[in-house]
């Protein structure tokens, strides 16, 4: 189970994978994997704002 946050409205939900449509926006929003912000996450953060690239 992972935690996801809508990139548009900040709607938070827990699911194995993000939904196609945001229940809050009713649109095809981008969902950010919020579960990887924890230290024990094996993956890497995929938020470009944190990495500061560009």
| Cα–Cα distances in angstroms (integers) from residue 25 to residues 21, 34, 36, in the given order | 8, 18, 23
Residues contributing to the site for Zn ion (CB under 5 A): 6, 8-9, 11, 22, 24-25, 29
Smallest separation, CB 16 to Zn ion (Å): 19
Smallest separation, CB 22 to Zn ion (Å): 3
Smallest separation, CB 29 to Zn ion (Å): 4
Q: Which is nearer to Zn ion, 2 or 8 (CB)?
A: 8
What does the alpha-carbon distance between residue 50 and residue 1 come to, in Å, rounded to a whole number?
A: 23
Token look-up 């939904």 returns 19
């Amino acid at each position: 189970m992972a935690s996801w946050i809508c990139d548009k409205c900040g709607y938070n939900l827990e699911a194995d994978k993000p939904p196609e449509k945001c229940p809050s926006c009713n649109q095809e929003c981008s969902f950010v994997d919020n579960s990887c912000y924890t230290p024990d996450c094996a993956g890497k953060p995929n938020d470009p704002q944190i990495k500061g690239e560009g």
